């Protein structure tokens, strides 16, 4: 493994983790001489363009976060077909292992760990980053007891697909911690992370998750429909105030949860504050009749001094008074929370008009009046845009009970003929969709791919295209075998033509050939290759090389049409960028549109780019080989 190097910098030493989406390696950064963790996406995600786009975007965003309770992201990149994240190497255990070994855990440790996780989420939320996959597996606890959240980038990228599009392994790892809105595929915000953190807190306190089942969909439905058993019903001695925090964080209605992670932190801090003042008596069954936790004090067989007895009575009265004040404050908090979550209510509400809203906006509108949402049918409509709500059941204006579910029908296009997106779906699912949308399954071709067998990798026409109902849709599916990987040949010092042939003989494609100076190699010899020799790369991948000096400057000419000129008389500028740098061989030369076109000659070395401007407006950018 030590021979495999990513980006010419990260030397992979040993595999330290293997999850549903990625493999994690311990590695050494040769540049900074430090140990890091390198997370490499599994091959089945490499061909999903939308997934990769979200993965890179969110990983770069996560790299901007710096906090003691977040695993630092140092680097994000791609090399060939390898997509990777370089992170801080944390010495410790996942919280999932700690729960397995220690749960039910002491409430004080639960409060401390929950507070740290909430602090990390607070920073992420303030940077407009929602984790979407908060679970014990994604929380690392150092040997010093510091909790660190990881997997921000992958979490969001994965949640761009629906729950049923993922593998059973990936779902089972997360569905126990899904918020109801995630399980429905609805609008997700920071309160979704708070829900998941509440589930983690529940599991730390009891050793169990509140909802479990034989399959992911069943568990998801329980998050949506079933009431949670309070943790104190499973484990005795859980302080009521802590249980209230768990139940509020996991309220099925988003608006009834803690509004922010900071608000949850404040409640956790209040527990610590009250505990410091009156000890565990504020949380457990402190008995004001005895002055302690319910145990009767031992009597002195020789009698008790009257002054000592008087002092004890005074102390007891002070404790009773203090306890009463704290109890009243807590009761007031419970009552306020009860009103906020609607538990003291139960009246009916009016269904708002959701037509024309996106699914996310419709869910937010329903949440405001304590109603739930469920997706109904995809229907054609010329009145509403794709993805907007066409109608609801019950209809807008209807009076329904709080916490009822409103089913919304979504527009799938202005008329019959919109092609569904099939890429990433099993062939059987794709066939059902094709028929549902009024089309027919055409040719089915198979290609060598690392995607699971019979997964659609391409389609024609593409998803979103318009065509005539009844037309055939052709698909390409994976054979599940993956692409063969072979070692990259050694190219440094080879003549450029010899190097090209070596690349082809190994089963690769010659990529970009750039040119540059070298004091070590002769003219025409390779001075740099994209991948180190010995690196295992999928056959058919392209390999870029850099060659010493090239073949010297050469002149090329090409015609430029003047049709894009805005005026009869305009100024022509040509910019050339190549191995020798950037220059402007033609700068604001006057030309006439009526001439029709003109010939331009430019000189350069190796691979370059020619940019043409009319009156300082770019009209053409062309890649050339000099």
Q: How far apart, in whole angstroms, are the C-alpha atoms of residue 482 and residue 479?
A: 8
Structure tokens at 594: 């009526």
Both tokens of residue 618? 């770019």
Handedness of CA 371, 372, 376, 378 (dihedral sign): positive
- Give me 413's structure tokens: 């296009």
Pair of tokens at residue 520:
């070590």
Q: Where are the alpha helices (DSSP H) in 38-186?
A: 49-63, 95-102, 107-126, 152-158, 168-172, 180-184
DSSP for 213-225, written as a single string: -SSHHHHHHHHHH
With tokens 């140990």, the residue in question is 35
Can you state the angle between helices 190-206 and 261-278, rounded to 10 degrees? 40
Supply the angle between the helices 240-249 and 107-126 in degrees, to the nearest 10. 30
- DSSP line for 558-610: EEEE-TT-SSSEEEEEEEEEETTEEEEEEEEEEEEGGG-EEEEEEEE-SEEEE
Contact 198, 239 (CB under 8 A): no
| β-bridge partners, 148 | 140
Beta carbons within 10 angstroms of residue 169's beta carbon? 11
Give the DSSP letter of residue 495. Answer: B
Best CA proximity match to 36, nearest among 153, 134, 162, 150: 150
Active-site residue flag, 48: no
Question: Parallel, antiparallel, or unpaired: how do β-strands 526-529 and 139-142 relate?
Answer: unpaired
Whole-angstrom distance, CA of residue 488 vs CA of residue 511? 13
Q: What is the CA radius of gyration of the chain?
A: 32
Q: Which position has the token pair 């949308």?
A: 437
Whole-number Å distance between alpha carbons of 285 and 240? 10
Q: Give the list of residues 6+ apart from residue 495 with CB closer than 8 angstroms, or none.
A: 524, 525, 526
Strand partners, 12: 27
Q: What is the largest CA-CA distance in the chain?
A: 122
Name the DSSP class of 510.
E
Q: Measuring CA to CA, which residue among 219, 221, 93 is closest to residue 150?
A: 93
CB atoms within 10 A of CB 397: 9
- The C-alpha angle with vertex 154 and arms to 186 and 421, in degrees rounded to 5, equals 55
Q: Give CA–CA dist 5/13, Å, rounded.
A: 9
Distance from the Cα of residue 514 to its chain's centroid: 36
**CB neighbour list of residue 231: distance below 8 Å, 6 or more residues apart:** 202, 205, 206, 238, 243, 246
The residue from 48, 133, 151, 580 that is catalytic is 133
CA distance 90 to 71: 8
Sheet holding 139-142, edge to edge: 92-94, 139-142, 147-149
Q: Which residues are catalytic?
A: 133
């Amino acid at each position: 493994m030590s021979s495999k190097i990513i980006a010419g910098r990260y030397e992979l030493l040993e595999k330290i983790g293997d999850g549903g989406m990625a493999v994690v390696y311990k590695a050494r950064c040769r540049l900074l001489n430090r140990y890091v963790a390198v997370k490499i996406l599994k091959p089945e995600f490499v061909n999903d363009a939308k997934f990769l786009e979200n993965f890179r975007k969110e990983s770069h965003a996560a790299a901007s976060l710096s906090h003691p309770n977040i695993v630092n992201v140092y680097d994000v990149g791609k090399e060939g077909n390898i997509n990777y994240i370089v992170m801080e190497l944390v010495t410790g255990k996942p919280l999932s292992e700690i729960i397995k070994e220690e749960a039910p855990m002491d409430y004080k440790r639960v409060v401390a760990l929950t507070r740290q996780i909430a602090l990390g989420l607070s920073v992420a939320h303030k940077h407009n980053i929602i984790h979407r996959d908060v679970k014990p597996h994604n929380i690392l606890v150092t040997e010093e007891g510091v909790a660190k959240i990881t997997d921000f980038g992958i979490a969001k990228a994965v949640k761009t697909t629906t729950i049923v599009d993922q593998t059973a392994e990936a779902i089972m790892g997360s569905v126990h911690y899904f918020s109801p809105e995630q399980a429905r595929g609805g609008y997700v915000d920071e309160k979704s992370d708070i829900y998941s953190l509440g589930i983690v807190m529940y599991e730390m306190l009891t050793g169990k998750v509140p909802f479990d089942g034989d399959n992911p969909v069943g568990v998801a439905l329980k998050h949506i429909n079933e009431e949670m058993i309070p943790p104190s019903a499973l484990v005795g001695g859980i302080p009521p105030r802590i249980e209230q925090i768990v139940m509020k964080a996991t309220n099925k209605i988003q608006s009834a949860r803690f509004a922010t992670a900071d608000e949850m932190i404040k409640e956790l801090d209040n527990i610590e504050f009250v505990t410091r003042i009156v000890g565990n008596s504020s949380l457990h069954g402190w008995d004001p009749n005895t002055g302690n936790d319910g145990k009767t004090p031992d009597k002195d067989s020789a009698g008790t001094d009257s002054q000592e007895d008087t002092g004890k009575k005074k102390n007891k009265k002070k404790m009773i008074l203090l306890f009463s004040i704290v109890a009243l404050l807590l009761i007031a908090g419970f009552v306020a929370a009860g009103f906020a979550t609607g538990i003291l209510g139960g009246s009916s509400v009016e269904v708002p008009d959701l037509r024309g809203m996106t699914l996310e906006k419709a869910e937010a509108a329903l949440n405001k009046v304590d109603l739930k949402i469920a997706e109904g049918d995809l229907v054609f409509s010329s009145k509403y845009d794709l993805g907007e709500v066409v109608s609801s059941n019950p209809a807008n204006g209807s009076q329904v009970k709080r916490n009822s579910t409103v089913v919304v029908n979504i527009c799938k296009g202005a008329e019959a003929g919109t092609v569904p997106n099939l890429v990433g779906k099993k062939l059987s699912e794709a066939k059902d969709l094709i028929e549902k949308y009024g089309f027919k399954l055409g040719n089915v071709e198979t290609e060598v791919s690392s995607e699971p067998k019979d997964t659609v990798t391409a389609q024609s026409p593409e998803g979103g295209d318009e065509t005539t109902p009844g037309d055939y849709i052709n698909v390409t599916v994976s054979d599940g075998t993956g692409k063969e990987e072979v070692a990259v040949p050694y190219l440094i010092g080879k003549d450029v033509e010899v190097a090209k042939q070596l690349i082809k003989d190994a089963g690769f494609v010659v990529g970009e050939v750039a040119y540059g100076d070298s004091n070590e190699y002769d003219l025409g010899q390779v001075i740099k290759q994209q991948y180190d020799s010995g690196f295992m790369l999928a056959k058919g991948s392209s390999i870029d090389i850099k060659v010493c000096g090239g073949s010297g400057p050469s002149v090329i000419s090409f015609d430029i049409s003047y049709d894009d000129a805005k005026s009869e008389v305009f100024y022509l500028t040509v910019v050339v960028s190549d191995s020798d740098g950037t220059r402007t061989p033609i700068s604001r030369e006057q030309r006439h549109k009526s001439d029709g076109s003109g010939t331009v000659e430019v000189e350069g070395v190796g691979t370059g780019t020619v940019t043409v401007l009319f009156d300082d407006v770019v009209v053409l950018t062309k890649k050339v080989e000099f």
